């Protein structure tokens, strides 16, 4: 939770506590008035009721003001929550786009370390070690020799290819 949300919530708690205190005070005042009513004259009762009426009007206006403040603070909390949700949504979308880009890069890397004929990864030695043709395309040794025997062309660019055009590639990073 952000610091402004915490401040708003503590302000709201203070306003609610103030309303509760006002209600308790009114209740005590009314109880005291009822005890005094039995022993005083009518004029004094009227005066005390007028004072009580004035205090009740002030309390009601104060309650209304507090409720309006609470309403404003609640709306600001809601708008901050929406802003936070939008920020989170944008962050999630950025992460999603980053993951999609990463997936594309990994797919292209997989293509770079796989034989385009059989789609198996190359080896650094053995029958499926990486080799290239004069045109520069890379293949597994066994796969390209079979393709040259059958078609006498590069399977990718269709240039003429011979067995003598097959060259072994040496690279520690390319092959593991």
Written in H, E and C, the secondary structure of 126-160 is: CCCEEEECCCCCEEEHHHHHHHHHHHCECCCCCCE
Number of Cβ within 10 Å of residue 148's Cβ equals 21
Mean pLDDT of the chain: 81
pLDDT (tens digit per residue) in 100-136: 888 887 766 655 678 889 988 888 788 889 899 999 9
- Please give the Cα distance from 161 to 153 (Å, whole number): 5
pTM, full prediction: 0.40
Output the pLDDT for position 69: 84
Torsion sign over Cα 132, 133, 138, 141:
negative
Q: Give the CA-trace dihedral at 150, 156, 157, 160, to 10 degrees.
A: -20
pLDDT band with cut points at 50, 70 and 90 for residue 41: confident
- Please give the Cα distance from 109 to 29 (Å, whole number): 82
Residue with tokens 């979308």: 93
Nearest of 106, 115, 119, 109 to residue 137 by alpha carbon: 115
């Amino acid at each position: 939770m952000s610091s402004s949300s915490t401040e708003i919530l503590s302000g709201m708690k203070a306003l609610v506590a103030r309303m509760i205190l006002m209600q308790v005070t009114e209740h005590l005042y009314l109880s005291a008035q009822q005890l005094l009513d039995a022993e005083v004259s009518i004029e004094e009762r009227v005066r005390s009721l007028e004072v009580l009426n004035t205090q009740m009007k002030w309390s009601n206006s104060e309650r209304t003001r507090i409720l309006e403040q609470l309403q404003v603070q609640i709306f600001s909390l809601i708008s901050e929550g929406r802003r936070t949700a939008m920020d989170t949504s944008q962050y999630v979308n950025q992460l999603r786009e980053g993951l999609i880009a990463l997936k594309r890069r990994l797919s292209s890397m997989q293509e770079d370390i796989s034989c385009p004929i059989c789609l198996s990864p190359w080896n650094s030695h053995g029958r499926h070690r990486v080799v290239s043709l004069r045109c520069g395309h890379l293949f597994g040794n066994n796969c390209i020799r079979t393709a040259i025997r059958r078609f006498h062309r590069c399977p990718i660019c269709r240039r003429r290819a011979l067995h003598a055009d097959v060259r072994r590639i040496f690279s520690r990073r390319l092959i593991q």
